[in-house]
């Protein structure tokens, strides 16, 4: 396996400084919430506005961002793991979208390196499917009303029969 793209990805993310954490309020399923609180994240870091999500600081950064980096990288929520992929629901299908490079500079690398794309896509689909299965229809409806215009549709996957109800890693 060529690991050069792994090093390139890390460098791109470091240079970016965590733009993906700006105004990010990722949905948090009950099991993810319990996992994060058990790991020492304060319950005050979360809020409920149609769905449970992480709060943002006054400057717009995710409450768990420190010095432009995720302070919980190894245990971060599903949609954070899925980045730069995101989702929407259409009936019994999950639409998988890729954010534009203007939002996430790693997108160029993913488009240039098929192995990198395939690996991140697999991570994204697994995490998105798990999240969708662990949220209520009302929570999902609220989440899907959030506009994400700078994205392109890359796949459709079945909502049911994909992923796992188990939120462990």
Cβ 55 vs Cβ 17: under 8 Å? no
Question: What is the C-alpha to C-alpha distance for residues 64 and 78, in angstroms, rounded to an integer?
Answer: 15
pLDDT, tens digit (0-9, with 9 covering 90-100), for 123-156:
999 999 999 999 999 999 999 999 988 999 999 9
Q: Is residue 169 part of a domain?
A: no
Q: Which of 28-42, 45-59, 102-116 has the lowest mean pLDDT?
A: 102-116
Q: Would strands 93-99 and 151-158 be described as parallel, antiparallel, or unpaired?
A: antiparallel
Question: Is 138 inside a domain boundary?
Answer: yes
The answer to the question of residue 166 being in a domain is: no
The answer to whether residue 97 is domain-embedded is yes
The verdict on whether omega for the bond into residue 167 sits within 30 degrees of 0, i.e. cis, is: no
| Entry pTM | 0.87
Which tokens belong to 125?
């689909």
Q: Which of 90, 69, 89 is closest to 80 using CA atoms?
A: 69
What is the secondary structure of 3-15 as a DSSP string? -HHHHHHHHHHHH
Residue 107, in any domain of the structure = yes
**CA–CA separation, 9 and 45 (whole Å):** 28
CB 31 within 8 A of CB 163: no
At 3 the pLDDT is 62
DSSP assignment string, 145-158 = TS---SEEEEEEEE
Structural domain range at position 143: 4-158
Determine, yes or no, domain membership for 82. Answer: yes
The total domain count for the chain is 1
3-state SS, one letter per residue, for 40-98 = CCCHHHEEECCCEEECECCCCEECCEECCEECCHHHCCHHHHHCCEEEEEECCEEEEEE
Mean pLDDT of 15-40: 89
Residue at 167 is within a domain: no
Q: Are 53 and 139 in contact (CB under 8 A)?
A: no
In a domain, 46, yes or no: yes
Residues linked to residue 152 through DSSP beta bridges, in sequence order: 98
Q: What is the pLDDT of residue 168?
A: 34
């Amino acid at each position: 396996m060529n690991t050069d793209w792994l090093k390139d990805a890390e460098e791109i993310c470091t240079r970016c400084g965590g733009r993906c954490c700006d105004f990010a309020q990722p949905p948090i399923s009950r099991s993810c919430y319990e996992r994060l609180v058990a790991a020492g994240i304060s319950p005050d870091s979360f809020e409920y506005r149609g769905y449970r999500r992480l709060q943002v600081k006054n400057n717009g950064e995710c409450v768990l961002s420190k010095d432009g980096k995720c302070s919980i990288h190894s245990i971060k929520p599903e949609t954070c793991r899925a980045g730069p992929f995101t989702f929407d629901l259409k009936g019994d299908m999950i639409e998988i979208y890729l954010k534009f490079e203007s939002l996430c500079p790693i997108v160029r690398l993913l488009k240039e390196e098929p192995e990198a794309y395939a690996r991140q896509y697999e991570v994204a689909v697994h995490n998105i499917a798990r999240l969708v299965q662990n949220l209520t229809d009302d929570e999902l409806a609220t989440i899907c009303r959030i506009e994400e215009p700078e994205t392109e549709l890359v796949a459709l996957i079945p909502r049911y029969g994909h992923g796992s109800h188990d939120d462990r890693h």
